[in-house]
Chain A
Amino acid sequence: MNDTMSRYRTMTGHRLFWPAAVLVVMLVANTIYRPGFLSIELKDGHLYGTPIDILRLSAPLILVALGMTLVISTGGIDLSVGSLCAISGAIACMYISKQPDQNSLAVVLTALAMALGVALVLGAWNGVLVAVIGIQPIIATLILMVAGRGLAQLITQGQIITINSEPFRAIGLGHLLTLPLAIFIALAAALLVAAFTRRTALGMIVESVGGNAVASRLAGIRSGRVIFLAYVLSAVCAAVAGFMMTANVSSADGNAVGLWVELDAILAVVIGGTSLAGGRFFLSGTILGALIIQTLTTTVYAMNISPQTSLLFKAVVVIAVCLIQAPAFRARFTRRRGSVPPSSAIADKPKEQVPA
């Protein structure tokens, strides 16, 4: 009995337990409402079904959220990712639309390289503002969030650029081994970021800077470089997400691509267990968070919730998710703990759970 209890504790104590539980509850609720929800069928060598759709549609969000995870871990935030999606999509589509052979692989690769190059420069801009000049991250990235939309409009000259390029379209809608290509791209990005942070010492140093900047400096860490790198990485992730978003519809709309994705990304990071105050980050948690958000969006459509109330519905679910994750909130519903000494009460204080 005791053994079962302790096993239950270990399981519920795992940081991925509550996000995973929320996801499962959502899927179950959907299945009850619509029994065919989880069914997958094979058609023309491709797998189809709502779960596949959720995975495919969450790919861009996963990408953006991966970069955001690192930025938030340093104690910062990157509001410009939505605009970066729009800019990179606009550059890629604009270039392709000007070429005689839009279906040439070389053309598409050149377009991607150009857009990624611009994203690197813009990420470096954010990095310099935050790490070198020392502007508060929320303000520094707000600049590009606002100006970036204008930049995207400028690139497309205010038009919606439509292209007809099979290789580019494949980024969003192509298939590989019966599954959408986007899923593999997101997976590859996740593995790359994981390797980049955990196979090197970058992850630990980022966590150290975000966890205690003063102590990190006194341990000899040059935090500026690390913070700079996080913003550049975030911009690159956002650019790739921008390719997917534009490829999905084969057109670039400077106003609409990636609109508000920064908020969803921040939310995914927080649901995944990374504190907005910085410090420890959890890439797997972030991915789970992105899946929760996409499932929620799909649910809203699937349940025919009217567009007027869908945002409110989303907000209520998000608040619930954040509350369930907060140990202090859960403690109210389990047995009351004895009074704890103030110091440890502060140390155990649940990290900010701020729904974006």
Chain B
Amino acid sequence: MTDNRPVVTMTGISKSFLGVRALHDVNFRLFPGEVHALMGENGAGKSTLIKVLTGVYDTDEGAITLDGQPVSFTGPMQATAAGVSTVFQEVNLCTNLSVAENIFIGREPRRLGAVRWGEVRRRARTLLARLDLDLDVSAPLGSYSLAIQQMVAIARAIDIQARVLILDEPTSSLDAVEVAQLFRIMRQLRDEGIAILFVTHFLDQVYEIADRITVLRNGGLVGEYATAELPQLSLVEKMIGKELDVLEGIEERSRRNLAVLEEGTPLVAVSDFGRAGSVEPFSLTIHAGEVVGLAGLLGSGRTEVARLLFGADRTDGGQVAVDGTPSSLRTPAQAIGHGVGFCSENRRAEGIVADLSVRENMILAMQAARGWLRPIPRRRQDELVDKYIKALNIRPSDPEVPVRNLSGGNQQKVLLARWLITEPRLLILDEPTRGIDIGAKTEIQKLVTQLSDGGMAVLFISAELEEVLRLSHKVAVMRDRQMVAQLANDDGLDADRVMQTIASGSHREEADR
């Protein structure tokens, strides 16, 4: 926007963790009085770049300047003191303390060692007034909405004469009105000359507020663009990184016709399922033997759809019919009773029980369905476990080792086995191939095809379009927490059209702007 000197420059930044390259030769510039969006898929290196800038990590190579002076912060405190403040995604404030305490915690004005509380409150009021916020500074922070809490975090950040404000996904838990409120403050700060680095996964928001965009992919710099000169579709392409025509040659597969598959009563049909602040109401039908792909960028609401279908979260309204009969999916136990299984994307926190053995992890869902009074006989357990260790090629093949000792890919297979043992009719797989090696990945893809050929319905969620297109009969597209389209995966559908849908929110060709 401005042609004066950048307030921050980062040149040739490289950073590796235990030999894994997180950033490679990245350049980045930030000018005063601009909102600069940092974009990239999960794992592209956005957080690492921010952490390098704020001194959480040191760099392996490269140089950082602030106002033309080379700097190397040893920690966020030092960065903050130099005027580079960060507000993280999870608001790092204490909801049980007052608004004023939160703004000044750790640096309260003191006299003879005693905190001057009057001064704290007065200065907090002044600061908030600058952001056009009229709050009771003595009230506990928790009594205000998340959006207000976010703004208090920003107030805390800019108090220290900040010249650079880094907002890491500040909008991920805000609704539309709250986002507008936040943007108003961001514009105001920008006009005051503060440089704002903005990380988000919401494309609309980028186009609403950002002046320039820097795109990262796989730890490398893709480029720096003026927002006005970069159409949404090009942005999506640059983030996902596949040239469209490269994806054209999707592996041919004898794909059963969607129309034939969707004859008869759907296995699961939901209508108007939704949850405030998580995903807009949607309707979806899944038939036996059908693979429904769920495409969309990170944070677009893919996981939230899966959680509603499994009863992990409760829907605010709507109906569900299983085999045409009205039912309810209000708890996981209920969903499992209807023959639904769910492999969470968060393997460690929501999937495996690290302490338990491979065998115990595998039989867990089946045992839960039977109740604790009817244990699965040990011989039957061993049969089932042996079968799936062989079928899924799990290593090490010893069923009694704690599952924590297995690699990520093998843990994923253990989770798959947990659900396959329950013989589900609908299996929801949320990012089953993320973070696992290529061998395990193709094995899992092959398995999905086999299962659907055998009559199992699968909801397949993946950030990789290629994978979704290869496996699915139907692709539901998510964008900004809405299901914007459901596309039959026939000859007419390719990555190009899905990307356009993600970028524009409509599957019409002319929507490309």
Contacts and interface: CB of A to CB of B under 8 A. Distances in A.
Contact of B372 (A202, A215, A279, A341): A202
Contacts of B350: 214-215, 218
A220 B372 contact: no
Contacts of A78: none
Contact of A212 (B18, B312, B352, B365): B352
B356 A211 contact: yes
Q: Is the interface of A mostly helix, strand, loop or mixed?
A: helix
A208 B18 contact: no
A347 interface: yes
B372 A205 contact: yes
A341 B18 contact: yes
Contacts of A215: 344, 349-353
Contact of A220 (B336, B344, B354): B336
Contacts of A164: none
A215 B356 CA distance: 12
Interface in B338-359: 342, 344, 349-356
Interface residues of B, number: 31
B372 A218 contact: no
A185 to B, nearest CB: 26
A347 B360 contact: no
B336 A204 contact: no
Contact of B365 (A199, A220, A279): A220
Contacts of B332: 217-220
Contact of A200 (B312, B349, B375): B375
A59 interface: no
Contacts of A204: 356, 360, 364, 367
A211 B344 CA distance: 17
A207 B360 CA distance: 10
A221 interface: yes
B310 A201 contact: no
A201 B376 contact: yes
B418 A219 contact: yes
B418 A211 contact: no
Interface string B368-385: 111111111000000000
B336 to A, nearest CB: 4
Interface in A283-316: none
B24 interface: no
A226 B372 CA distance: 9
Given A200-B375, A208-B360, A208-B364, A216 B353 contact: yes
Given A217-B332, A219-B332, A205 B368 contact: yes
Contacts of B373: 200-201
A341 B407 CA distance: 14
Contacts of A205: 367-368, 372
A212 B353 contact: yes
A280 interface: yes
Contact of A347 (B356, B369, B404): B404
B333 interface: yes
Contact of B342 (A218, A280, A347): A218
B368 A219 contact: yes
Contacts of B18: 341
A216 to B, nearest CB: 7
Contacts of A7: none
20 contacts: A201-B367, A201-B373, A201-B374, A201-B376, A204-B360, A207-B353, A208-B360, A214-B349, A215-B344, A215-B352, A216-B368, A217-B312, A217-B332, A218-B351, A219-B332, A219-B368, A279-B355, A280-B355, A280-B356, A341-B18
Given A201-B367, A220-B369, A221-B368, 10 more contacts: A201-B376, A204-B360, A207-B355, A208-B364, A212-B353, A214-B349, A215-B350, A220-B336, A221-B333, A221-B364
**A-B CB proximity, top 4 nearest:** A220-B368, A220-B336, A201-B375, A211-B355
